[in-house]
A and B are shown apart, each in its own frame.
Chain A
Amino acid sequence: MIELTVNGAAQRVDADEDMPLLWVLRDLLGLTGTKYGCGEALCGACTVHIDGHTVRSCVTPIRRAAGRAVTTIEGLSKAGDHPLQRAWVELGVPQCGFCQAGQIMTAAALLAENPKPTDAEIDHSLAGNLCRCGTYLRIRAAVRKVAGT
């Protein structure tokens, strides 16, 4: 059994230590907001936080999360009203939406560390999060809206 905290709640999961965190979240804990994209850490759709830092959950073994705090899109705010989530709605950022949980989790980690990022800093930090719909300009605008820049 592996013990960890997920979105503020203590969890004990019966999983092989090499099982990707993504499958623990989706299949064992029913948290399906985090998406499977490429499975190779190349697209960013599966991004979650461990102790506030981004990880690609598709390639992160659950042993890395043992005893630590995992935050998923479901835990970013209790009511889905995190400033980024509100900005995403207000600016109509998503199209198909598949990548957006990863985009928002990456943006949240960026703003936690750098509350007033420049356009270049936003682009660089989100460069590993792909959007097939090409919503990059709206993503950047939403991040800037929250940053107040």
Chain B
Amino acid sequence: MATGALRAPAQFAAIAEPTARSQAMFIEASRVLTHARCVNCHPPDDTPRQGDTHAPHDPPVLRGTEDRGIPALGCATCHQDRNAELARVPGAPDWHLAPRSMVWLGKSPAQICAQLKDRSRNGDRTLAQIQHHIATDRLVGWGWEPGADRAPAPGTQAQLGELVQAWIDTGAACPTEEVKR
């Protein structure tokens, strides 16, 4: 498999047992869900991260009450609806942090999976709504078109959407913590 590619659901057909196949597909999807382009805006605190080392956002900014910054220093103070290539400032519509309940940074695939299925922590979404969000949201889609010299998330947004749909169709089984990537 080429570097940066994402395996398609059909490539998991050899795993006959549906739960095991579902777990394997989530592990594959988690290559995106744990990628720096995604987890940097799913922090466990009030500070967004930057870069592949998850460095604190510079200039220093805070989450604020609506996950969109604080008075006079909102996300939209600097971030536009698309990347500002000359300035290297990333951008997408409604640039903001994921809510506090959706911590991905530092979490394992199993922990992220459990969180995605927990309506008290996933924005009260059904699995179908989760899949739709992952497959179509333009801010999510920024992860594959991050601009400048940032490494994109593996595969494409459409491929991740297919993988998540297949995971749901096979029972949305979460991997165990013992599974190593």
Contact = CB atoms under 8 A, between A and B. Distances in A.
A59 B73 contact: no
A76 B59 CA distance: 25
Point out which of A55, A109, A113, A125 has the most chain B C-beta atoms below 10 A from its C-beta.
Answer: A125
A42 B73 CA distance: 12
Contact of B72 (A39, A61, A64, A109): A109
B76 A39 contact: no
Nearest to B64: A124
Contacts, number: 71
Interface of chain B: mostly helix, strand, loop or mixed: loop
B72 A56 contact: no
Given A54-B72, A128-B60, A128-B61, A61 B80 contact: yes
Interface string A24-59: 000000000000000111101001000001111011
A127 interface: yes
B70 A128 contact: no
Given A39-B87, A41-B89, A107-B72, A127 B77 contact: no
B96 to A, nearest CB: 14
B77 A56 contact: yes
A110 B72 CA distance: 5
Interface of B: 58-62, 70-74, 76-78, 80-81, 84, 86-89
Interface of A: 39-42, 44, 47, 53-56, 58-61, 64, 106-107, 109-110, 113-114, 117, 121, 124-128, 130
